[in-house]
Amino acid sequence: MISLRTLSCQINSFFKGLRSSSRTRQVIYWISTFFFFMYVLIFLGFDGLYPFNLIGRLLFFVFLALGLIYAILWNPNSFKLRLFVCLYGLLCIIYVVSYVVNLPINSSSPFTQLSVALISVFTFFWIIIEPPNPRYKLLPFFIIAVASWVFCLYLVVTNVRVLLSFDFGSRSLAVELGNQNDVARKIALSAAYNFGFAIFCSKLIFKTISNLFAIAFSLLIPFTGSVSNLLLIIVVVLSTIFFYFPKKYRWLYFFFLLITLISGIVLLSLDSFAYYRERLLGIFLSLIGQGDSSLSDASATGRLDALVASLRLFLDSPLIGNGTFSVQLNFFRMAHNNIGETLADYGIFGGIFGEMLILFPLFRIRHTKNANRPLIVLLVIYIFINQFFLVTFNAKADMMFIGLVWALETADDSLLTGNYTGVLTPILKTRKVV
């Protein structure tokens, strides 16, 4: 019979052998990377489609298990306490406290928010973790780009008739993937990433491919019928163009904005854009208080009413909130506003920590000159503005990209400057931004 001491020695010897095996480290890393690619692909584009939503969760937990094994054996220093993890940890504590305090009136579990937090945090860790070879350091960014390219090709190939119809009011693009606003959100998020990734790259071919897919994603947005995401992608595109303007000529950028405004007005006068013309007019009437007008936008009016309802709930319980999805529970509608929903559900501290997660990287990089800065700015612009139209704190893709943003902001110098050699270095090596 084996004694406990002997068993312990055998286990230690086994793990010591694993740590010393570079081949085993490579195998576990590449298998983990495959599962990373698969869950990014599903969460980015196909999470609203059954059974891919379940498959995506399964793939993530397999990746989580393999990633933890890799980190424990070969990268234990990656678990040191970081500001991003502290902020998300405080937010998760707020989720749980609000849930417990509001029982039994609100029994909605914060399980989804907690699982999304796990996805965000471990995406962050996987990007900053030390790979078996320094030349793989930028691989996660390339993988996310490729996943978005696959998503774009799927949209184009499966929606040829919709695209050739030029019917922007049909809202029929990729209806099998779920709600049109949710599909539009993922398309716009992919566009923002590819625009930033193109600046991040130094290799012309990958810069070109990424820009082409970013433009393709931008052109797909009008076919979703989502006004908010159309306006958002215009902001993202204009922000991208700003980064390409040489500093001494940036005064010309304002003339470019004027030309863009005039071009937009001309496009709205065309019959093909009649849907957006009527929607924008209706939204304007709703915003100035003409909610009862026959020309007002029912969606905008309903969202404003939902926002008011969420703020009323927040004032009823400003410190701990009213529990998960309290707006829907009390008013039988979604808040359609992430800030309003967060305040109503989790109170003032939930709102503050939630916004810090999104905005704090911008303050940390304001003096940064490396090429990661545009990618961070574009993603934060989209995620921050989009939360005024949708509830996003439980959205896997959005929170996954928040983890990526924080990884970019906290990464070491080798990631930011490309001070290493390897296969991916000439492809993705960053450069200084003018």
Tell me the pLDDT of the chain (434 aa) as tens digits.
556 666 556 556 655 666 767 888 899 999 999 999 999 999 988 888 888 888 999 999 999 999 998 988 888 777 777 889 999 999 999 999 999 999 888 888 888 889 999 999 999 999 888 888 888 888 999 999 999 999 999 999 999 988 888 877 777 888 888 888 888 999 999 999 999 999 888 788 989 999 999 999 999 999 988 888 999 999 999 999 888 888 777 788 888 889 989 998 998 888 888 888 888 888 888 777 655 555 667 777 788 888 889 999 999 999 999 998 888 888 877 888 899 999 999 999 999 999 999 999 888 887 666 567 888 999 999 999 989 888 888 888 889 999 999 988 876 433 444 332 333 344 444 444 33
The structural domains of the chain, with segments of one domain joined by +, span: 22-244+372-428
**Residue 188 to residues 61, 177, 276, 363, 418, Cα–Cα distance (Å):** 27, 15, 17, 24, 28
What's phi and psi for 21, nearest 5 deg? Answer: -95, 105
What's phi and psi for 370, nearest 5 deg? Answer: -75, 165
Rounded to an integer, what distance in angstroms lies between the CA atom of residue 19 and that of residue 25?
Answer: 7
Query: Which residues are bridge partners to 183 per DSSP?
Result: none
Q: Is the dihedral of CA 187, 189, 193, 195 positive or negative?
A: positive
| pTM for this predicted structure | 0.88
CB 395 within 8 A of CB 185: yes
Encoding tokens for residue 363?
């303050």
